[in-house]
Amino acid sequence: MSQYRIFLKYVAPSVLAFALSGVYAIVDGFFVGHSMGDTGLSAINIAFPIVSLMQSVGTGIGMGGAVLWTVRKETEDPGLAGKYIRATLLLLLISSMLTTAFFFFLTGPVLRLFGTKGDILTLGKDYLDVIVLGDVFQILATGIVPFIRNNGSSFFALITMMSGFLSNILLDYLFVWVWDMGTAGAALATILGQAVTTVLAFAYLIYSRLPVTGSLAGFGKMAGNIWKIGVAPFGLTLSPMISLMLINRFSMANGGAMAVACYACIAYALTIVQMLMQGVGDGVQPLLSQYYGEGRTDLVRRMRKTAYICAVGLALLSNAVLFAARSGLGELFGSSDDVSAMVVRVLPIFLFGLIFYAFSRITTSGFYATENNLYSYLCVYAEPVLLLILLFLLPLVLGQTGVWWSVVLSQVLTACLALALKTAEDKKITVSP
């Protein structure tokens, strides 16, 4: 099988799966927006960074464990490498208990910290209270899927995620539209959808006879190694939500509730596109880790180059589609006419940054897939830091427009940093003959 066919075998199902994840993220907003209007849509949008934090914990731990398992089984005893699967599962369970305990009494204060008040605060708290109680399914669902993909079963990973997605849609329809359960019903639909994914993921581990039982000697050291890798994918998954949180906070101060509702519509659309980029990065990661473990750096470079082409192509296509559909985005999420008109004006600003985001995303995936932790950290966490700095500066001159442009400029600057780090790494790599 040619290398490009292998690339498609891994990446195509991953891109489809993450596209579904992007739609998954906007389903609650769709049903709540049409049921409760701008207020309900804003509440879901402001609460979503906490949901993303929980999912990011699962993604970081799961991806860290999957990378180490894949690399180690090519270079060490597969039995010893398999201990990383067990360590990852235990770490996922511990993390879910800790995050639930931490947020259980803090949903209200956290939402107030985001600048939320009034009906938006009430509806957002109703949503988060349910999400926090079902945190274990969020973390396990996102944490086990990377092992399915790294075991060569990208298509089953797609089926697993699709099952949860379809369950969420059906339950959102019932809970929000039929039974009028509001934002709490939307949250319950999300949790039960993730529970479906979790059950199927565990069934795969058992059916495939992956080493889920056995010794956990050395768990502390393995947990540390998992987090060293996982900090980067954790940040990649969370970074868009950090941006969402910051933009909501500064938009509330500069543009009010209308600006927050406008960005909710834009963020939902961009989430799908950013998930496509994550699908390319996470889809090619098993190949990069395998070839890295085998010492085949020529194939590492070739697969990474192919991933760049794929991600940038998807960014260009997404730009065209979103620009053409911009007039219908507000209506899609049930926003008011004024908010819809604002979306039409503002969306092109955000489309400018997608190509830069695609480059940074693939570069970072290449770093953590080959255990280049420092460079991956720099790429991941530079963007929210740069965004925060720009948000303190540009709105002073441009008002709410400065908030919008802060996002794009932070993506451009992060891509420049990623290019510099990639160039430095390439100079160190000796290509295998």
Residue 147 resides in a domain: yes
What is the arithmetic mean of pLDDT over 410-420? 93
Residue 433 resides in a domain: no
Which residue type, as a one-letter code, is found at position 342? M
Residue 65 near residue 87, CB atoms below 8 Å: yes
DSSP state of 353: T
Q: Shortest CA distance to 277 belongs to which of 22, 67, 1?
A: 22
Residue 366 resides in a domain: yes
Domain count, the chain: 1
Assess whether pLDDT exceeds 70 at residue 162.
yes
Sign of the CA dihedral running 300, 303, 306, 311: negative
Lookup result for tokens 């995620």: 161
Cα 206 to the chain's mean position, in Å? Answer: 26
- Give the model confidence (pLDDT) of 351-393 as tens digits: 988 899 999 989 988 887 777 878 888 888 888 899 999 999 9
Question: Helix, strand, or coil here: 66?
Answer: helix
Query: 409 is written with which tokens?
Result: 């400029």
Residue 29 pLDDT:
67
Q: What percent of the chain has pLDDT over 70?
A: 90
| Choice among 38-42, 218-222, 272-276 with the minimum mean pLDDT | 38-42
Lookup result for tokens 């802060």: 406
Residue 282 near residue 13, CB atoms below 8 Å: no
| Choice among 56-70, 168-182, 213-227 with the minimum mean pLDDT | 213-227
- Work out the pLDDT band at 433, boundaries 50, 70, 90: very low
Assess whether pLDDT exceeds 80 at residue 14.
no
CA dihedral 45, 51, 53, 54 (to 10 degrees): 180
Domain holding 364, by residue range, is 3-428
User: Does the pTM of the predicted model rise above 0.85?
Assistant: no
Assess whether pLDDT exceeds 60 at residue 347.
yes
